[in-house]
Structure 1
Amino acid sequence: MDEIQAQLKAALAHHQAGELNQAATIYEHILKVNERQWEARYYLGTLQLQRGDLDQSIRTFLQVVQLQPELPDVHNNLGVAYHAAGKWQEAGQSFEQAIRLNPHYERAYFNLGSLFESRAVFSEAVKCYQKAHDLNPGNLETHQKLADALKSAGEWSRAETIYRELLVASPGDFDLSMKLAYVLVLQRQYQEAIMLYESMLKSSPDHYQILVSLSYVYEAIGNIEAAVEAAKRSIQVAPTQPEGYNNLGNALKLQHDLEGASENFRKAISLRPDFAVAEFNLATTRLLQGNLQAGWRGYERRADIAANPQQQYPGQQWQGESLSGKSIYLWCEQGFGDTLLFIRFAIELKKRGAAQVMVLCQTELAELLKSIPEIDQILIAGDPQPECDYQCALLSVPLYLETSLETIPAAVPILKPSSERQQYWANVLSELPGSKVGLNWCGNKSFPKNELRSIPLNSLLPLGEQEGIQLISLQQVNGLEQIAPLQNAWNLWQPGAEYQADTGDFSETAALIQNLDLVITVDTAVAHLAGSLGVPVWILVSRLPEWRWLLERSDSPWYPTARLFRQSELGNWEPVIQVVQSELERMLHSN
């Protein structure tokens, strides 16, 4: 062994023992003797990276690249240094070069996955972690990172499978158990998630995060007492943490204790002044109380808690300035029901002097919204963005108009479906006997708490027993599978293929509804559609309604033709259906 190799061996021994100063001194001595000794320079760069001297480490690795450009390890480590320094593009290029030089370089794939994950490009992170795992299936760290990336990418079922496999290898692992429970919650497998959380509490009875998660899940399924208890326990364990108060607020809201809920949301905000979720929850509580003007500002926090970043649109943000002679570009951001509810504010801006009102909406609603004469242009995703003086989220307009319960623009009809399609359905329905009553029982299954607002079709069987009434299915996309088992059980007429029940078509639904005597629906977009058309609509509302339906009232300030039938006990629809049945009988006898 020559002298330099002996010195290099000694330096590596110090390096591996964590004696970085001694190792650095020897590396530097070697380089003074032979500046082209790439191994000493490479290990020195690695040492500098360990110390956090990122700029120097990058310079050193770049010098090694000049000496040994075909060495995959140096490109990989250079990528690590770039990544740590926040130089994302250079880091990616370095990892990719390491992989080009060695297509089986497991660690480079792992590091590239980590880079993508840190940049929230989860689909690409999944690909990299999957490749690293394929190269070394026994690496549990890579397997868990793959599961984490899948979770973030929304591939919850695949993530669940991996977490279960990892728990077989590491039974009872706390971190893995928490992650498995989380993806179970995301997939609404609430009962198994509760069982997992409860089992973890046996060994960690005062674990704050478990209690917070448990209160959230109990609240999601409507188990009010359990949600309150878990939230209170989390506060006892960690009284300075805000999540427990936020969860307690949500649980008290289920009890209709709106003052108690608001008090806890305010406490959460006092502990974390920028707590977007608590601010949003406080705002929707105020809206639910009917105090709209106090709620609109906090309602703006919806953008901060959305799953996806808010899209940026051209033009100056409108904040209530005069629109006389000006154009405004409004964009829809949430569900179909919200668009139908808030589209009245586009009309209001036109009435208040806007020269041009343009609305970007969901493709499924575009044709129907074109029937509104006050809207100058309807756009959908992919259309060129028009020039405008101002832009604003449609749901933000009432904030700047200072809308209160008394000033909601409530004139109907707001929408007017195609006269040709109206006539078509008029002809079809004329062949059916009795009063025509539309029925909608199920909302979008991906909607949070859809189980609490939807009603199983078989529970509505009593409504089909009314003489003189022909029930018409308005259901589209969701809930259709419930029809076949009851096909011969009751009086429910289904529109033909032209109704497009499997894919959904709001224009067709509107034209059909326009010919009905009454619509009976759970809280879905159909409620807003019928209300916007000015058709009588009975809305069956959960014990915990969306804020727009307020509390206790049987009417709606948004829709003059709407009547609300409310649950008195969460999850129990039978008394509500009995009241609706009685009111149907009364309606028939009064005609």
Structure 2
Amino acid sequence: MTMPVSANLRSVPLATLDEALRAALRGDTARLHELCSLHPDSADFRHLAELSAAGRVALASPHHALERAWEHHGGERLLLARVAYQTALAVAPANREALSGLGILRMRFNDIPGSLTALTRAANLLGPTLQAADLHQTDRELEIRFGILAARALSTLADMINTAADVATVLSRLALPFRHAAGFYRELGMLVARRAVERMKEGDPIQAVALGRLSVILEPGLPEAYSNLGYASEMAGCYPQAYRPYLRGALANTDPSRRAYAYLMLKHLCFRLGLWDQFADLLPHKRNYGPLTWWNTLHPAPLWDGALKPGTSILIYAESGFGDVIQCIRYADYFQAHGMEVHVACDRRLVSLCRLVPGVTTVQAPPCRIGNVDWRVWSFDLFYMIERDPVRTFKAEGYLDLARGPEVGPVLERRPGELLVGIKWTTTDPAKDLPLDAFARLRVHPGIRFVSLQPEPPPAASILTVERPLDGFFGDAEDSFLATAQVIGQLDLVITADSVITHLAGALGVETWVALKAVPDWRWMVERDDSPLYDSLTLFRQPLGETSWDSVFDALEAVMRQRLVAEA
């Protein structure tokens, strides 16, 4: 096998080095010196000549050649070390230390077959005692090296593991050769778990589930493999089947942050499945998730414990995305109704919008000085602490009051018989984006007038003409959401991808049709065309396994025609 050149021999042609190595091994001093003369400045060739001479000494003392091998191996003169190991083995073929050293060395050259041959010969000399308690230190290192080699051998086959059947193929090739590697099945289980994640990213959740199931069979001690299996099952639309792997991964994980993250994934699944009675047990784990622990010491006020305390004040600290904040700011009115004063800290782009919520006393944008309050709570924690009924949430009818804010948005001119329809076709996730031209199918009546609700202009080649009254307002980041809300408040209907506009229109109580990908965000739950979060929403779901939006727009077109007939 042709080996790559080690770092300290790169100035010498590989073919010349290989020929010199073979001459040294067969004791052909004349040919070795002839090759050395081609590279008179190469200390490596001089070492080769010395080793060739040392080979004759090794006939009487193989330990001498082994010592030279260790010296060169430690000095990173890898080709020279190879000659020395093979010189020692030429005299003493059953020398376990030389076989082990040669196997390790060949691993450095990524010569997996050669390394496996040498290490297997060394291991076979030990027989069934390889894992016995009285193993010599060298033999223990040999077992460790087998594990490392197993990992490297498996990594070379990683690209061929795309299905569960491929795992069986790998087992048939490697299970017997690596019978001495105590960690072989663990390494294979870890590899299959990684491939399951990659298959998930490649858009094949079905194979990700199959590989995930195999990974936990091969190595039941991998908590992350269970969590990955839960996620793959969820993304494949096998929602109930995701519950046990998520729970198993959480229970088995000893790392507090990773365990907390596993519980967060389980909490989201419970949201999707309508198991809202489990929120109380799952939410406390969030405090241990590493990226979120800063919240524990952000402010001296204690965390809200869920008890209503009239006469006290509470700070709602906005977390996550804009849509998440809009969804959960509704609970300001909940506190006010129970005699509590509410202060909000949020992104500056949401300040003017949050002021539209009844019950809000003050709104500030971090980094700001947070005044003295009695309690503090994260905005999304409020949902998990308050809601228990997946049929309908608090303020599902809408809660943003445009009358509470200044008039900053454009006023739409409405002509008789028109149906004003706001549309949003792009999101932060390309898988959720809608084809703009497909909206042209929904203009089934000349009185339908489309209004863009997004800052990006439509593609130049689009066949659809979209009115853009908000163009002059998106440059003002602090009022762009408020201006968008004021435009939505003048519309008859909003049709949108799963984006912040969904929450904004729902919070305003405006009729909204939402196009969802086959496996949507967990908040849209399962097999429902309505949402407990907003009364005004109708959900249109992509069929499981499809990536085309044709069937969604077929349904949207049919409902649009029905609406026009009903209003005629």
TM category (shorter chain) comes to 0.5 to 0.7
C-alpha distance in structure 1 between counterparts of 2:355 and 2:405, whole Å: 15
User: What's the offset of the Cα at 1:362?
Assistant: 1.5
Residues 25-46 of structure 1: CA deviation (Å, up to 9, x unaligned): xxxxxxxxxxxxxxxxxxxxxx
8 Å CA contact 1:439–1:473 kept in 2: the answer is yes
Decide whether aligned partners of structure 1 residues 401 and 421 sit closer, same or farther in structure 2, where only a CA change above 3 A counts: closer
Q: Is the 8 A contact 2:189 2:218 kept in 1?
A: yes
Amino acid at match of 1:580: L
Give me the whole-angstrom Cα distance separating, in 2, the residues matched to 1:379 and 1:420. Answer: 16
Given that 1:539 and 1:564 are in contact with CA atoms closer than 8 Å, whether structure 2 keeps it comes out as yes
State the partner residue of 2:363. Answer: 378
Name the residue aligned to 2:482.
Answer: 507
Distance 1:330 1:173 in 2: 60
Q: Which of 272, 278, 287 is 1:288 aligned to? A: 272
Aligned to 2:493: 518
Q: Does 1:198 align with 2:183?
A: no
Of the candidates 255, 261, 269, which is equivalent to residue 277 of structure 1?
Answer: 261
- Give 1:218 deviation, angstroms: 2.8
- CA-CA distance at 1:490 after TM superposition: 1.9
For the residue of structure 2 that corresponds to 1:499, the secondary structure is coil
Distance 1:385 1:561 in 2: 35
Using a 3 Å threshold, how does the CA distance of structure 1 residues 549 and 420 change in structure 2: closer, same or farther?
Answer: closer
Distance between the aligned counterparts of 1:278 and 1:305, measured in 2? 9
Q: Which has the larger radius of gyration?
A: 2
What residue number does 2:193 align with?
212
* Greater mean alpha carbon deviation, residues 241-250 or residues 575-584: 241-250
- Does residue 555 in structure 1 map to residue 530 in structure 2? yes
What amino acid is aligned across from residue 586 of structure 1 in structure 2? Q
Q: Equivalent of 2:399, from 414, 431, 439?
A: 414
**SS of 2:316's equivalent?**
strand
**Which residue of structure 2 aligns with residue 580 of structure 1?**
556
Could you say which residue in structure 2 is the equivalent of 1:545? 520
Question: Aligned partners of 2:192, 2:449: CA distance in 1, in Å?
Answer: 49
Q: CA deviation at 1:468?
A: 2.4
**What residue is the counterpart of 1:395 in the other structure?**
380
Q: Which amino acid aligns with 1:522?
A: A
Q: How many residues align?
A: 391
Cα distance change of structure 1 residues 376 and 232 upon mapping to structure 2, 3 Å threshold: same
Secondary structure, in 3 states, of the residue corresponding to 2:564?
Answer: helix
SS in 2 for 1:403: coil
Partner of 2:311: 325
Structure 2 partner of 1:228: 209
SS of the residue corresponding to residue 472 of structure 2 reads helix
Does the C-alpha gap of structure 1 residues 330 and 421 become closer, same or farther in structure 2, counting only changes over 3 Å? closer
Deviations 1:272-306 (A, max 9, x none): 26522321222111111112121354245456557
Q: Counterparts in 2 of 1:350-365, with a 5 A limit?
A: 350-354=336-340, 356-365=341-350
Q: Is the 8 A contact 1:537 1:563 kept in 2?
A: yes
What does residue 527 of structure 1 align with? 502
Task: Give, as a single letter, the amino acid of the residue that structure 2 aligns with 1:393.
Answer: W
- What's the TM-score, normalizing by structure 2? 0.62
Counterpart AA for 1:330: I
Counterpart Cα distance in 2 of 1:365 and 1:553 = 30
Q: CA deviation at 1:413?
A: 3.1
The equivalent of 1:151 in structure 2 is: none
Note closer, same or farther for the CA distance 1:323–1:199 as it changes in structure 2 (3 Å cut). Answer: same
Distance 1:342 1:423, change over 3 A: closer
Please give the alpha-carbon distance, in whole angstroms, between the structure 2 residues aligned to 1:516 and 1:580: 17
Checking the alignment, whether the CA contact within 8 Å between 2:439 and 2:464 is kept in structure 1 is no
Q: Look up the match of 1:475.
A: 454
Post-superposition offset of 1:200:
8.6
Aligned-pair RMSD on alpha carbons?
Answer: 3.2
Give me the whole-angstrom Cα distance separating, in 2, the residues matched to 1:579 and 1:224.
26
Shift of 1:422: 5.9
Kindly provide the amino acid, as one letter, of the partner of residue 246 in structure 1. Answer: S
Residue 347 of structure 1: aligned partner: 333
Q: Who is 2:235 aligned against?
A: 254
Answering whether residue 249 of structure 2 is matched by residue 268 of structure 1, we say yes
Residues in 2 aligned to 1:239 and 1:283: alpha-carbon distance in whole angstroms: 23
**Residues 65-214 of structure 1 aligned to structure 2 (within 5 Å):** 198=159, 207-214=188-195
Gaps of 5+ in 2: 1-107, 113-154, 172-186
Aligned twin of 1:438 = 422
Percent identical:
24
**Structure with the larger helix share:** 1
Matches of 2:404 and 2:303, distance apart in 1? 37
The offset of 1:437, in angstroms, is 0.6
CA gap 1:324/1:419 in 2 versus in 1, 3 angstroms:
closer
Provide closer, same or farther for how the CA distance between residues 172 and 465 of structure 1 changes in structure 2, counting only shifts above 3 A: farther
Contact 1:314 1:391 in 2 (8 A): no
**Structure 2 contact 510–536 (Cα < 8 Å) conserved:** yes
With over 3 angstroms needed to count, the CA separation of the structure-2 counterparts of 1:433 and 1:499, relative to structure 1, is: farther
CA contact (8 A) 1:215 1:228 kept: yes
Offset at residue 424 of structure 1 (A): 5.7
Match of 1:456 in 2: 435
The equivalent of 1:3 in structure 2 is: none
Provide the C-alpha distance between the structure 2 equivalents of 1:462 and 1:215, rounded to a whole number of angstroms: 39
Residue number in structure 1 paired with 2:220? 239
Q: How far off is 1:377 after superposition?
A: 0.8
Does the 8 Å CA contact 1:303/1:310 hold for their aligned counterparts?
A: no
SS of structure 2 residue aligned to 1:267: helix
**1:370-399: CA deviations, max 9, x gaps?**
122311111111221110111111211234
SS of 2:490's equivalent in the other structure is coil
* Contact in 2 for aligned 1:300/1:396 (Cα 8 Å): no
Kindly provide the CA deviation profile for residues 401-428 of structure 1, in whole angstroms up to 9, marking residues without a partner as x.
35322562125331123689769633x3
Distance 2:232 2:335 in 1: 38
User: Contact 2:279 / 2:385 at 8 angstroms: preserved in 1?
Assistant: no
Distance 1:370 1:351 in 2: 17
- Post-superposition CA distance 1:519-541 (Å, at most 9, x none): 01111110000000010001112
Instruction: Look up the SS of the partner of 2:266 in the other structure.
Output: helix
CA deviation after TM superposition for structure 1 residue 223, in Å: 1.6
**TM-score of the two chains, using structure 1 as the length reference:** 0.60
Please give the alpha-carbon distance, in whole angstroms, between the structure 2 residues aligned to 1:561 and 1:490: 26
Give, as a single letter, the amino acid of the residue that structure 2 aligns with 1:365.
L
Aligned 8 A contact 1:330 1:392 in 2: yes
1:106-159 CA distance string (max 9 Å, x none): xxxxxxxxxxxxxxxxxxxxxxxxxxxxxxxxxxxxxxxxxxxxxxxxxxxxxx
Q: Aligned equivalents of 2:381 and 2:160: distance in 1?
A: 44
Deviation at 1:474, TM superposition (A): 0.8
User: Measured at CA, do residues 197 and 343 of structure 1 come closer, stay the same or move farther in structure 2, by a change above 3 Å?
Assistant: farther
SS of alignment partner, residue 317 of structure 1: coil
